[in-house]
């Protein structure tokens, strides 16, 4: 029992010491905070002077190298070191192309008529006939080649079957 009482007393003493230590530490932290805040009053006053500088005083910290044009933060959104001439040329070309498309006919029948006028019906029919004839020739060549390969396959399979039958007969199955 005395052991338990001694343990409780030592625990209470350590809490009191820890509490005293924490109290002193808190007091020093508050004192440090008060002294640093009180000593920085001149900085707050000088900041107020920057917001409302006297006439003729230069307050810019650096000399800007690009003119203010009104983008983000009053400067251009494009890096001035980037060469945009190719992009500008492409934009101009696309704008001109769009304007040309606006000027063209929007009626499908007129577009078809212009297409037929550009390349006559006779030449279109001739081109189609040539492509059909070429396709027929390619198909015929493919069929004859396939037939030749198929016949060779059948011949080889028949020979293989004959050999298998002969070997089976020799073995006596």
Q: How confident is the model at residue 44, as a pLDDT?
A: 53
Percent of the chain with pLDDT over 90: 18
Tell whether 19 is covered by a domain: yes
Q: pLDDT per residue over 19-33, tens digit each? A: 777 877 888 888 888
Q: pLDDT per residue over 101-152, tens digit each? A: 777 766 777 777 776 776 666 777 777 888 888 999 999 999 999 999 999 9
Tell whether 121 is covered by a domain: yes
Q: How confident is the model at residue 148, as a pLDDT?
A: 92
- Reported confidence tier of residue 93, pLDDT bands at 50, 70, 90: very high
Helix (H) or strand (E) holding 73: none
Least confident of 8-17, 79-88, 126-135: 8-17
Alpha-carbon span 173 to 170, nearest angstrom: 8
The domain tally of the chain equals 2
- Write down the mean pLDDT value for the chain: 78
Alpha-carbon span 78 to 3, nearest angstrom: 80
Tell whether 61 is covered by a domain: no
Alpha-carbon span 141 to 95, nearest angstrom: 51
Residue 66 near residue 79 (C-beta atoms within 8 A): no
Q: How confident is the model at residue 139, as a pLDDT?
A: 92
> In the chain, helix, strand, coil percent, each to 5?
75, 0, 25
Tell whether 2 is covered by a domain: yes
Tell whether 159 is covered by a domain: yes
Residue matched to tokens 């945009």: 84
Q: How confident is the model at residue 46, as a pLDDT?
A: 54
Mean pLDDT throughout 11-16?
Answer: 70
Tell whether 101 is covered by a domain: no
Q: How confident is the model at residue 42, as a pLDDT?
A: 55
Q: Tell me the residue range of the domain where 113 lies.
A: 107-168
Q: Which residues contact 84 (CB under 8 A, 6 or more apart)?
A: 78
Q: How confident is the model at residue 30, as a pLDDT?
A: 84
Tell whether 16 is covered by a domain: yes
pLDDT at 90 over 90: yes
Tell whether 173 is covered by a domain: no
Mean pLDDT throughout 73-102?
Answer: 84
């Amino acid at each position: 029992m005395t052991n338990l009482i001694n343990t409780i007393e030592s625990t209470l003493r350590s809490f009191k010491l820890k509490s005293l230590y924490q109290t002193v530490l808190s007091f020093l932290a508050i004192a440090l905070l008060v002294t640093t805040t009180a000593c920085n009053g001149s900085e707050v006053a000088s900041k107020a002077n920057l917001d409302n500088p006297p006439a003729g005083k230069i307050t810019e910290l650096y000399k800007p190298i690009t003119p203010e044009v009104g983008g983000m933060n009053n400067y251009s959104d494009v890096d001035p070191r980037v060469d945009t001439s190719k992009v500008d040329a492409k934009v101009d070309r696309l704008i001109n192309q769009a304007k040309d498309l606006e000027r063209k006919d929007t009626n499908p029948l007129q577009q078809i008529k212009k297409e037929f006028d550009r390349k006559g019906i006779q030449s279109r029919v001739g081109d189609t006939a040539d492509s059909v004839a070429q396709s027929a020739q390619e198909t015929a060549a493919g069929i004859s080649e396939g037939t030749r390969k198929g016949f060779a396959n059948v011949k080889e399979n028949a020979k293989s079957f004959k050999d298998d039958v002969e070997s089976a007969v020799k073995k006596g199955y």
